[in-house]
Amino acid sequence: MRYPILSFSLLMLMLLSCSPRSYDGPVSDHFDGERFFNPGTPANKGFFRVLKWYATRERQPWPAFSELPSTDKPPQRVEGNGLRIGFVGHVTLLIQTQGLNILTDPVWSDRASPFTWIGPRRVHPPGIRFDDLPPIDVVLISHNHYDHLDLATIERLWRRDRPRFIMPLGNDALIRDRIPDARIDARDWGEQVVVAPEMTVHLEPMHHWSARSPWDRNRALWAAFVLATPGGQIYFVGDTGYGGGDNFRAAAAKYGPFRLAILPIGSYDPRWFMADNHMNPEEAVRAWNDLGQPPMLPTHYGMFQLADTGYEVPLRDLETAMRAAAVPEGRIRPLRAGEHWQVEERGGAIRPER
């Protein structure tokens, strides 16, 4: 066990610093009038389970901060059915297609934390310098955890580009407290936002939870996104447990075949605590199979130490899972922060580039 006093102190500071946020809306099959939930397969992330993990955690090794070999310098636009993915790191991606620039769960802060001086700190700089970003049109936010919803970055993007923010229900309250005039579309599972004639963003279920303090647990929804374009569908999941695979099979039936699936593979130890909400690489490969085996980009590794999983372990475990499942070469291809991919149309191979 390492750093139990520091970890516990950080948790207590988070509890004292955050005020609850509440969504007010009609009861549904995933909202009981007070809190959101995963239908049929609840995720138990009660306060005392969090305390147990913090008190007993055994972190595997992570490196000190280091610079990247290079950073990506994306073009201003990618027109038509071209598709370029720039990997900023963790779950932050720049998706360029149909003349639109889209960021997913953007985090340019040094820490995934409510504080600037303590909390999980990045071990590499962002793979795209903020000043090298082209004008951003759309920002997708999957849920409100600090490694996905970074208010400082959101405010910086708003001041610079005035993008459209798309997110699941309840997350808009956090942003409006800081940016009252932000352009926000907050939607439920099964709803959509027409971004342009060439792109519609659909929100779909993922198996997760939400909280920025113990008082607002599951008061805001979490969601996956499907970007429907003439060049093919892009499926983005910020964070999820496997949850039996129902969400992936339903997405494939509703939207498939996918041109690209973006799935998380990291922060999965210890399994007694993380399995409900974070897939390990073996489960991610299973999800890829449920989705119809599209080209897949793994995320959620190699930037912030958020669980007990070691720095290199997710990619090593992914290689093992791919061999066991006989995944064709090039079908699942991880990137390092600062790299980018040009994705061929409708299920073609993906070529990594630096």
pLDDT of residue 4: 47
* pLDDT band (50, 70, 90) for residue 47: low
Characterise 325 by phi-psi region: left (phi > 0), alpha (psi -120 to 50), beta (else).
alpha
d(C-alpha 208, C-alpha 238), whole Å? 10
164-168, strands of its sheet edge to edge: 183-187, 164-168, 138-140, 100-104, 92-97, 84-89, 340-343, 350-353
Q: How far apart are CA 60 and CA 314, in angstroms?
A: 12
At 1 the pLDDT is: 38
The CA distance from 19 to 10, in Å, is 16
**pLDDT (average), residues 268-286:** 94
What is the average per-residue pLDDT within 276-284? 96
Percent of the chain with pLDDT over 70: 88
| Dist CA 86 CA 343 (whole Å) | 11
Largest Cα separation within the chain, whole Å, is 53
Evaluate whether 263 touches 287 at the Cβ level (below 8 Å): yes
Q: Which pLDDT score, from 0 to 100, does residue 33 have?
A: 94
The per-residue DSSP string of 301-313 comes to: -SS---SS--SSH
pLDDT at position 353, please?
46
Question: Which of 108, 186, 181 lies closest to 143 in space, CA to CA?
Answer: 186
Q: What percent of the chain has pLDDT over 90?
A: 81
Asked whether the beta carbons of 236 and 299 are under 8 A apart, the reply is no
What is the arrangement of strands in the sheet containing 224-229, beginning at the earlier edge strand? 192-196, 199-204, 224-229, 232-236, 258-264, 296-299
The whole-chain average pLDDT of the chain stands at 91
pLDDT in tens, 114-162: 999 999 999 999 999 999 999 999 999 999 999 999 999 999 999 999 9
Mean pLDDT of 200-211: 96
Please give the single-letter amino acid code of residue 69: P
Average pLDDT of the segment spanning 67-76: 98
Give the mean pLDDT of 83-106. Answer: 98
Checking if the pLDDT of 5 tops 50, the result is no
What one-letter code names the amino acid at 190?
Answer: G
- pLDDT surpasses 50 at 351: no
The residues near 131 (Cβ < 8 Å, ≥ 6 apart) are none
Q: What is the pLDDT of residue 20?
A: 53
- Tokens 């909280």, residue located: 211
pLDDT at 350: 44
Looking at per-residue pLDDT, the higher value among 136 and 11 belongs to: 136
The whole-number pLDDT of residue 352 equals: 40
Q: What is the pLDDT of residue 315?
A: 98
Q: What is the mean pLDDT of residues 54-81?
A: 92
Average pLDDT over residues 318-324: 98
Which residues touch 46 (CB under 8 Å, ≥6 apart)? none
Listed residue (151, 147, 152, 191) closest to 168, CA to CA? 191
Question: To which residue do tokens 């007010």 refer?
Answer: 24
Residue 21 pLDDT grade (very low, low, confident, very high; cuts 50, 70, 90):
low
Q: Region 62-89: what's the mean pLDDT? A: 98
CATH fold label, 4-16+41-353: Metallo-beta-lactamase; Chain A (3.60.15)
CA-CA-CA-CA torsion for 291, 185, 298, 114, nearest 10 degrees? Answer: -140
Integer distance in angstroms from the first to the last C-alpha of the chain?
Answer: 38
Is the N-terminal amide bond of 270 cis, ω within 30° of 0? yes
Mean pLDDT of 306-331: 96
- pLDDT tens figures, 224-240: 999 999 999 999 999 99
Residues 195 and 154: their CA atoms lie apart, in Å, by 19
136 vs 2, residue with greater confidence: 136
- Burial class of residue 277 in the structure, from the number of CB atoms within 10 Å of its CB (0-12 exposed, 13-18 middle, 19+ buried): buried
Q: How many CB atoms are closer than 10 A to CB 245?
A: 15
The domain spans of the chain are 4-16+41-353
What is the mean predicted confidence (pLDDT) over 182-190? 98
Distance, in Å, from the CA atom of 49 to the CA atom of 28, rounded to the nearest integer, reads 27
